[in-house]
Structure 1
Amino acid sequence: MTSATTMTAALAPVHREQLMTLAREVSYAAGSRMFEEGRRADRFWIVRTGTVALDLHVPGRRPAVIETLGHGELIGWSWHYPPYLWHLGAEATSPVRAWEFDAEAVRAMCVADPEIGRAVAVWVGRVVAQRLHASRVRLLDLYAPYGAGDLL
């Protein structure tokens, strides 16, 4: 993931401070599922330590790992867009410490303050674009006859 998609790089200090007023510290053991594809997306996380694998359900197979995320990265963007359902699943691949945010509270903050709302929307949009690219490359690697090749 590019640095432009981490919270620190994407949000101005004043917006980070506002957002962090809604954060709570959580931890996950290695192997813990953080969320499942298709279920309600009611929160998101910023990784403090550890790694999280984003995966895609593949019928008759193990979930395909699309991307592994670490320090400073946003886990989950589906909370930002109706119908608020996870598009992927996520599993802690090592012990994870993270800041967790209640999606409804963050959306309310964004409505109340259009400046932070725009900043969060641009940040989440960048993350979605990056994840879409990573998903495309990974799925081509897994399922295309000759792999993804050089898509950049």
Structure 2
Amino acid sequence: MTKATKLLTALPPPQRQHLMTLAREVSFPEDTRVFEAGGRADRFWVIRSGSVSLDQQVTTHQRVTVASLSAGDLLGWSWLFPPYRWDFGAEAFSPVRAYEFEAQPVLKLCEEDPALGLSLVRIVAEILAHRLEMTRGKLMEQYAIKRRGAF
């Protein structure tokens, strides 16, 4: 598996500085639900410290953790694509500090600075490809565990 791309370090310095003008520092206590799958995706975060688990509801009573995110990782990408709904849920696994970005000002900035917009979309696509690979692996692992338990 390839190493995960870190959004802020992947952006060229002038573009990163431009994006950071929209950042707001936030924190989440341990065990806080940051967002639920299906909810309105109108922002994203870059984790500064702590860890967040991404989960998928597989039954009405069971969530499967599909990824763990830590410092430098992008939390939330659904703000970039219609219908702007979270595909996963997220929960702070430990106390988390993060930069928060509201989607609308970032999208406006991307329209004003097309080079930043293209860089951001490319980096998010790379992150998505990596997350898809991780999620597939986790779900296959869960399936294998269930199958072993069936015998």
Aligned residues: 145
Paired with 1:60 and 1:26, the residues of 2 have a C-alpha distance of 31
Question: What percent of counterpart residues are identical?
Answer: 46
The equivalent of 1:44 in structure 2 is 44
Deviations 1:34-93 (A, max 9, x none): 000011100000000100000001113321000100001100111111111100000000
The equivalent of 1:103 in structure 2 is 103
Shift of 1:99: 0.3
Q: Is the CA contact (8 Å cut-off) linking 1:56 and 1:65 kept in structure 2?
A: yes
Q: Say whether 1:138 aligns with 2:131.
A: no
Shift of 1:8: 3.4
Paired with 1:54 and 1:130, the residues of 2 have a C-alpha distance of 14
The equivalent of 1:129 in structure 2 is 129
Report the TM-score, using the length of structure 1 for normalisation. 0.91
Question: 5+ unaligned residues in a row in structure 2: which ranges?
Answer: none
Paired with 1:60 and 1:111, the residues of 2 have a C-alpha distance of 40
Instruction: Tell me how large the CA RMSD over aligned residues is.
Output: 1.3
Q: Say whether 1:54 aligns with 2:54.
A: yes
Deviations 1:102-145 (A, max 9, x none): 01111111111110000000011011111111110000000134
The equivalent of 1:21 in structure 2 is 21
The equivalent of 2:119 in structure 1 is 119
Question: 5+ unaligned residues in a row in structure 1: which ranges?
Answer: 147-152
Letter in 2 for 1:2: K
Paired with 1:132 and 1:7, the residues of 2 have a C-alpha distance of 16
Structure 1 stretches of at least 4 aligned residues deviating more than 3 Å after TM superposition: none
Paired with 2:86 and 2:72, the residues of 1 have a C-alpha distance of 20
Paired with 1:117 and 1:60, the residues of 2 have a C-alpha distance of 38
SS of 1:91's equivalent in the other structure is: strand
Q: Is the CA contact (8 Å cut-off) linking 1:56 and 1:88 kept in structure 2?
A: yes
Q: Is the CA contact (8 Å cut-off) linking 2:47 and 2:71 kept in structure 1?
A: yes
Letter in 2 for 1:88: F
